[in-house]
Amino acid sequence: MTTAAVLSTTIPPRSPQGPFANEPFTDFKMPENERDQFAALERVASELGREYRLIIGGERLTTADKIRSLNPARPAQVVGVHQKAGAEHADKAMAAALKAFETWSRASVSDRTSLLLNAAAMIRERKFDFMAWLTYEVGKNWAEADADVGETIDFLEFYAREALRLSRATTPIQYPGERNELLYIPLGVGAVIPPWNFPFAIMAGMTAAAIVTGNTVVLKPSSDSPTIAAKFVEVLEDAGMPDGVVNFCPGSGAAFGNAIVEHPKTRFIAFTGSKPVGLEIHERAAKTMPGQIWIKRTILEMGGKDSILVCEDADFDAAVEGVIASAFGFSGQKCSACSRAIVESPIYDVFAERLRERAAQLTLGDPAANPNMGPVINKAALATMLGYIEKGKKESRLLAGGSPRRPPQTADGGFFLEPTIFADVPPNGVLAQEEIFGPVLALIKVNSFEEGLAVANNTEYGLTGSVYTSDAAKLAVARQEFHVGNLYFNRKCTGAMVGAHPFGGFNMSGTDSKAGGPDYLYLFTQAKSVAEKL
């Protein structure tokens, strides 16, 4: 293989423009932005129902079995029809990724970062369209869709800059008489298995981190959100990505997913999703397969049972708004969502009533019309949530909601659940311990800050948490003792920003990968020390 062949590329060169800064949020109160979003929804609606192919090594493939992605607000509306990769496609996808790795791993860091920066620019130009796709495919209202697209751009811009920084790494000292280098080289072929709830940002972030460090990817998106992933791969192709660097393979976890996780040539698995699936992936990856010559690396982000602790001395109004936003944003379908509000007894009753009143003000409906809350992702998820609500009625007091609701503007169905609040939930009860992943909030009464902190730490998870208090001494204790990967003071526990809040949790919340932070790209590389005698 010649050097010229290795370095040849069709990626238009692009350099970072200044230091990293988060993509600004869209102000939908501005008439021009509202107009542009309605226009994008209409434009994207004309593309719904299109069929997408598998993409393996640049080749478009069809399968007999299909995946139909549905609008959860209007289940009769097909968003996209996708091929269903099976176990028989795993070897083909791996072969394509291995072939691409031979050259992509040797591409210059400027080529790889240019790919990400070109993609970020294209997404920024079509921002409203991507928001519309998120609204149709997973039911995000405009603000939630805007945040998802903005975070996607942030990941691309941030990881491009981080890859450049990593390429300039040096050893702590130069040993006398030698030239010492520390090189961060790619691992190989990775499986990227993203979730449906942040189907653009998390999917693109894991994929971008893998490829900007020189790896190649087999991408298996969630069956609830494959269209967003297909649109992202189209962007990468338009940005100049060589064939085989990212192979687009929607499919079932039991068939294609397990096959690629277990494949002896798979070097790493980046996964975001539920605890049971994450643990199964970790277990399967740990088993050495015939012909495997490395220990597979797993980069896992799993569940959460996140708490906001509200102290007697808190800013009452700010705490109410923070709990409501954290519990019911995107219908509670975030691993970072507040599912437990732990409240000190002197303010508990008044706080509970204020939450009930505030939840009653939330609007519920088709996210295309931009209500506060849209649908939950599918029929099975709604059934699971309703099952938890029935359990909750037996162990605590239903304060608000608790019923499915069909908004008038979605006459053809939809998976909607009222914002639901339970009061007097026992700290070790089902609602306080198990991840529901929906708009169901448990209120827990405690007699002191110390008791509240103990309750906050009493789950198997450790992802996000928040404390509302005006007491600096309490914050100092929480800084040390509140055992979560992302801790917030006097603000909501959702909305981690790339660069400012590296994201990842402890215990059964995952491997604390800290996406969007300065350590994340290390997980997709291996360090090679080189010493040359002078």
The predicted-structure confidence for 493-514, as pLDDT tens digits, reads as follows 999 999 999 999 999 999 999 9
Query: Which active-site residues does the annotation give?
Result: 301, 335
How far from each other are the two terminal CA atoms of the chain, in whole angstroms? 29
What is the widest separation between alpha-carbon atoms in the chain? 78
Q: What angle do CA 428, 434, 438 make, to 5 degrees?
A: 130
In this structure, the strands spanning 59-61 and 54-56 are antiparallel
pLDDT at 136: 98
Query: Is 9 within the bounds of a domain?
Result: no
Residue found under tokens 């991507």:
130
Q: pLDDT exceeding 90 applies to what percent of the chain?
A: 96
Question: Residues near 481 by Cβ (< 8 Å), separated by ≥ 6?
Answer: 453, 457
pLDDT at 7: 44
pTM, whole model, 2 decimals? 0.97
Distance separating alpha carbons of residues 281 and 95, to the nearest angstrom: 21
pLDDT at 412: 66
Q: How many domains does the chain have?
A: 2
Query: Is 10 within the bounds of a domain?
Result: no
Q: Report pLDDT digits (tens) over 227-254.
A: 999 999 999 999 999 999 999 999 998 8
Distance separating alpha carbons of residues 401 and 502, to the nearest angstrom: 34
* Alpha carbon 404 to its chain's center: 26
pLDDT at 195 exceeding the cut of 80: yes
pLDDT at 405: 83
Q: State the DSSP string of 395-434.
A: HSEEEE--SB---TT-TT----B--EEEES--TTSHHHHS
Same domain, 46 and 167: yes
Same domain, 312 and 434: yes
Query: Is 247 within the bounds of a domain?
Result: yes
Q: Report pLDDT digits (tens) over 345-368.
A: 999 999 999 999 999 999 999 999
Same domain, 66 and 119: yes
pLDDT at 2 exceeding the cut of 60: no
How far lies 501's CA from each of 52, 158, 168, 495, in Å?
35, 13, 24, 9
Establish how many alpha carbons lie within 13 A of residue 462's alpha carbon, considering only the half-sphere containing its beta carbon: 18
Q: What angle do CA 150, 155, 156 make, to 5 degrees?
A: 100
pLDDT at 408: 62
Same domain, 182 and 48: yes
Q: State which residues form the domain around 464.
A: 306-497
Q: Report pLDDT digits (tens) over 512-532.
A: 999 999 999 999 999 999 999
Same domain, 202 and 346: no
Q: Report pLDDT digits (tens) over 109-121.
A: 999 999 999 999 9
Same domain, 461 and 319: yes
Query: Is 282 within the bounds of a domain?
Result: yes
pLDDT at 4: 35
For residue 242, what is the domain's CATH number?
Answer: 3.40.605.10
Closest listed residue to residue 186, CA positions, set 286, 98, 95, 285: 98
pLDDT at 10: 83
Same domain, 185 and 295: yes
Share the mean pLDDT of the chain.
96
Distance separating alpha carbons of residues 11 and 175, to the nearest angstrom: 38
Which of 153-162, 374-383, 408-417 comes out lowest in average pLDDT? 408-417
pLDDT at 406: 74
Query: Is 468 within the bounds of a domain?
Result: yes
Distance separating alpha carbons of residues 432 and 423, to the nearest angstrom: 11
Same domain, 248 and 314: no
Distance separating alpha carbons of residues 430 and 451, to the nearest angstrom: 19
Closest listed residue to residue 511, CA positions, set 261, 275, 288, 208: 275
Mean pLDDT over 430-444 rounds to 98
For residue 312, what is the domain's CATH number?
Answer: 3.40.309.10
Mean pLDDT over 459-465 rounds to 98
Same domain, 112 and 161: yes
pLDDT at 411 exceeding the cut of 70: no
Same domain, 286 and 396: no
Distance separating alpha carbons of residues 428 and 347, to the nearest angstrom: 22
DSSP, collapsed to helix, strand or coil, labels residue 151 as helix
Same domain, 290 and 313: no
DSSP code at position 331: G
Same domain, 471 and 527: no
Query: Is 21 within the bounds of a domain?
Result: no
pLDDT at 3: 39
Task: Name the band, by pLDDT with cuts 50, 70 and 90, for residue 9.
Answer: low
Question: Residues near 408 by Cβ (< 8 Å), separated by ≥ 6?
Answer: none
Cβ–Cβ under 8 Å, residues 185 and 86: no
Query: Is 345 within the bounds of a domain?
Result: yes
Backbone conformation region of residue 278, classed left if phi is above 0, alpha if psi is from -120 to 50, else beta: alpha
Query: Is 12 within the bounds of a domain?
Result: no
